Amino acid sequence: MAIDEKLQTIRHSCAHVMAQAVRRLYPGTKIAIGPAIDNGFYYDFDFPEDVKFSETDFAAVEKEMRKILAGNFDFIRKEVSKEEALKLFADEPYKVELINDLEDGSVITTYQQDDYLDLCRGPHVANTKEINAQGFKLAKVAGAYWRGDSNNKTLTRVYAYCFAKPNDLKDYLNMLAEAEKRDHRKLGTELDLFHLDPDDPGQIFWHPNGWQMYVTLQDYIREKIVKDGYVEVNTPAVMPKVLWERSGHWAHYQKNMFTTESEKKQFAIKPMNCPGHLEIFNSRSRSYKDLPMRIAEFGHCVRNEPSGTLHGIMRVRGFVQDDAHIICTEEQIESEVEKFCKLLIDVYKDFGFDKNLLVKLSTMPEDHVGDLATWERAEKALGDACNAAGMQYEIQPGEGAFYGPKLEFTLIDALGRQWQCGTIQLDYQLPSAERLNAQYIGADNQKHHPVMLHRAVLGSLERFMGILIENYSGALPTWLHFEQAAVVPVGNDFNEYAQKVCDKVRAAGIRVHAYTSDDNMKSKIKSISTEHRTPYILVVGENEQKEETVTCRFRFSSGIQQRTFKVDEFISYVREKIDSHYNGI
């Protein structure tokens, strides 16, 4: 999605207005940086020791900002020398540090509105009247290390939302409120899906309900890839340092790896599966007739992510990807990418994510390996394959990996939020002689190095589960839900019939439970509806027992109130929904 440059300019300008307001209200505050970000902006401040800035101060700052905006001040740009800049910002240590980092002779720009001067590259709006006084709202306060370095001082970061129109801000705040209701951490507790232990950050304890859905999701993907010609493997969780050195990960990724030692040898817990897959490829002689070789693994990987970046099951240390690597010839790249794109569309359709899919082609970065001709050929192959699969894409210049270009697939959820999940990356380096030296015998009877496509449809299964939980507000499609049906007798006299129905439905492969406790029917139904979000509640009483039927109450999201089925008729109805992976109920 293209960046709205005008809106980003408004946000950046509003950040300067906030900094001016803060300086007026809290004299002696030192200012650091204040960029525009998605949905708003932030500014980092170093408040005087006697100021304990918090969200209770937001109203005063917003009031002062609106007073500034009412002045209709121009944003005045000025170019200054490094020496002039150092004099202008002599009392601002963070600005001075930024200026000193610039080369001598650099052209430095400042912007001033009213009596507030800031060091900034811009651009900014022409006048404060272009910022809507009702289009922003201060959001939260957080700590942030100066320049992201934990050795530096912790500053106070003030976040704000900012939009061109008040209604846009209102819509965004409503979305945030709905997102809070759908928070997967909250629903994970309500539905008894998982828990997170603060003493074991980034690791998930899956409960029976959550694990049932997780396994169902994994089995679904397994079925899809087997039909698409993949072979599944399993590689060790712990592999030796020498392998990671050869792959290049030890030099470039070690800080994110958990390491261990045994018998004076160093090992790493694998953060990704690709070196292991090439080890399998290299375990025997391969011919061009063996290619493409599509190797899949649901391998548990661990990455030493900073604890501050972790977020529920969306960002974790321990995870499993629907990971696979396609080892092929260069001539097979385009057809394999097209095949993958079609698989991805097919999968996303089953979750209702195929309508507004965003695709980006990331091209050669400045820091890259390989010659320009190879890069151009690879980028064209990815783009042509994407088009052949019926998908349009936009270019992300310079955002490819150092070893090759990639396609990134971003889905849009029910709240309009974007989630980058699928990816396919083209790698000339890992199979090369300089790395893991994968080889095959070509039709010319000579040895050649294959190329490798790293790909995932869902990405991390844990993260995708979190996305699904929030997208469906816990009421997941029938085929994926941990409890697909619940049988509730109207009274204890019908417990036996309820259990009989339950047994017959379960024998048909439907996840069902009979609620035959002493609680009354209404409390059972309320509990099942709120704590389980069960798609089908089957109420049975005297009439149902006599007619061998069930009265089915449909989950609140369906819009259907209830319907009476013969038991076999209900089973056929639900099995069709499950077998077709219908994303409703």
Catalytic residue ranges: 274, 303, 321, 323, 325, 406, 454
Per DSSP, 205 falls in state: E
Q: Where are the beta strands (DSSP E) in 146-224?
A: 154-162, 194-196, 204-206
Burial 509-527 (b: 16+ CB within 10 A, else e): ebbbbbbbeeeeeeebbeb
SS3 230: coil
Per DSSP, 122 falls in state: -
Contact criterion met (CB below 8 Å) for 441 and 381: no
On the 0-12 / 13-18 / 19+ scale of CB atoms within 10 A, 347 is buried
3-state secondary structure 283-319: CCCCEHHHCCEEEEECCEEECCCCHHHCECCCECCEE
Please state, in angstroms and rounded to a whole number, the distance separating the CA atoms of residues 77 and 108.
Answer: 10
Which two tokens mark 3?
A: 């960046």
β-strand pairing of 154-162 with 358-362: unpaired
Please state, in angstroms and rounded to a whole number, the distance separating the CA atoms of residues 154 and 69.
Answer: 30
Please state, in angstroms and rounded to a whole number, the distance separating the CA atoms of residues 156 and 416.
Answer: 30
- Of 528, 537, 531, whose CA–CA distance to 570 is shortest? 537
Please state, in angstroms and rounded to a whole number, the distance separating the CA atoms of residues 541 and 472.
Answer: 32
Cα Rg of the chain, angstroms: 29
Please state, in angstroms and rounded to a whole number, the distance separating the CA atoms of residues 329 and 383.
Answer: 18
- Of 107, 29, 88, 109, whose CA–CA distance to 61 is shortest? 29
- Of 505, 506, 495, whose CA–CA distance to 567 is shortest? 505
Which two tokens mark 510?
A: 């439907």
